[in-house]
Amino acid sequence: MASIGASLLIIAASEFYLLTIKQWDVQSSYGASTATTGAVLEHVNAIARYASDFTTTTSGGNTLYVFTLPNNTPSGVIAMSKIDRTSATGSYIPQRASDGSLQFVDGPQVAFYLSDTTGSTSVTGGTILWRATAPAGTTTFTPDTLWSMANTSVGRYPGIQSFTLSTAGQPGNAVELKVTVQSTSGHNAKTYTTSRVLYMSSVVFGASLDTAPTSRIG
């Protein structure tokens, strides 16, 4: 009888241990997923919030989500090194058009898309989130390795399974970002999907910019 009781205690303890480990794995995978999702939302919104336009395009079957930034600041045309909120200073300002109205002039473009370690815009089925930039007046995008890669073989935002930006059902100054991230802890793999609406502050519709505020950078 004693041996049976001891065996039952061992079985119960083992089951409790396995349950605890499983719960820990779930919590750990959720924490890792949340960290990746939060970083993606923050860093994409750093561009989206100042954009004056959004569109999508394709390259070899791969979808690129493209934001256009205004081109002019009080100190002149914006430099590519200043497109990030963390390093930008001053304001985006509209320019006088030929009809006398004030309009934001199209400036640099910033594309977000999934690819592999090469950053090629035409790769399909990629799981690394990339950013690429194109100077004002061009449509040739240059992959931004520093923004996109932690090292030569690992993306900066691990575990991404899908990434989309869409204007469907949104007002004219908004896009919905949806990202799915898979995180693994121990033997437990969990997939989490998060969506967030991002607002573009340099989009003005239905009225003259003569009375509209400038778009503040920083």
- Using CA atoms, how far residue 207 sits from 54, 91, 102, 184, 211, in Å, is 19, 20, 10, 50, 8
- pLDDT tens digits for range 68-123: 999 887 777 887 777 775 445 557 888 888 888 888 889 999 999 999 999 999 99
The pTM (predicted TM-score) of the whole model is: 0.77
| Tokens 């003005």 found at | 204
Q: What are phi and psi of 84, to 5 degrees?
A: -85, 140
How far is Cα 71 from Cα 109, in angstroms, rounded to an integer? 10
Q: What angle do CA 124, 128, 133 make, to 5 degrees?
A: 85
| Tokens 């449509």 found at | 139
Structural domain harbouring 195: 2-216
* H or E stretch at 36: helix 2-48
| Token output for 152 | 């030569």
Within 8 A by CB and 6+ apart from 198, the residues are: 44, 45, 48, 49, 165, 174, 175, 176, 177
- pLDDT tens digits for range 20-73: 444 434 445 556 778 899 899 999 998 998 899 999 999 999 999 999 999 887
Q: Which SS3 state, helix, strand or coil, does residue 47 take? A: helix
Among 79-88, 125-134, 151-160, 171-180, the range scoring the smallest mean pLDDT is 79-88
Q: What are phi and psi of 71, to 5 degrees?
A: -95, -15
Among 126-130, 163-167, 198-202, the range scoring the smallest mean pLDDT is 198-202
Task: Domain count for the chain, please give it.
Answer: 1
